Copies of this chain bind each other. A is one copy, B any other.
Amino acid sequence: MDSDVQRHAASDKGEADDHSRPAKPELDLNQFLPYRLNSLADRISQALSRIYDQRFAINVAEWRVLAWLSHRDVLTAKQICEFTRMDKARVSRAVQSLEERELISRTQSTSDQRVHYLHLTLAGEELLGKLIPEAHAWETELVSTLTAGEYRDLLNTMSKLERQLERLESQR
């Protein structure tokens, strides 16, 4: 394959047989999981966000808020931060814009004046009624070349990586 890529150490640099100098390090980004994962995710995200954006004028943050609300009915901004792992400022802005467009509404908690319960409005549900099937259809097309087993394994492997990430992050 990419056999000859390996070669070309620190070769022609002149200091010739210098012992102290470290061998030329090399990294094939295409074999490097973080890079591969990131660029794949990026491409997918961009392709999909074209749907959100062009057809519904929704950005990714807004889409995530809506999607979680479709799933959980009532949530606070804090919870959305946790679930989506988005920054609270980003969530705050998404919520604000969705409320302005009356796709969601907020009701202040009586027991704690700081928290606001978020829920979809009818308009929000209607929008999701169109958007979700489209998103699903797109995903289906994307994964249409995978077998059911491959798809399942992919999600499983991703879960494993997530758990390991959890461990690594808690260590530091």
Residues of A within 8 A of B (CB): 1-6, 8-10, 13, 21-29, 31-45, 47-48, 64, 67-68, 70-73, 83-85, 122, 125-126, 128-129, 131-133, 135-137, 139-148, 150-151, 153-155, 157-158, 160-165, 168-169
Note all chain B residues with C-beta closer than 8 A to A38. Answer: 41-42, 44-45
Instruction: Report yes or no: A2 in contact with B41, Cβ–Cβ below 8 A.
Output: no
A158 touching B125 in the complex, CB below 8 Å, given contacts A132-B10, A139-B33, A153-B153: no
- CB within 8 A of A126: which of B2, B22, B151? B22
Closest 5 pairs between A and B when the two form their complex, measured CB to CB = A41-B41, A10-B133, A25-B132, A22-B129, A37-B41
Say whether chain A's binding surface is mostly helix, strand, loop, or mixed: helix
| Given known A25-B125, A36-B155, A36-B158, contact A2–B144 (CB-CB < 8 A) | yes
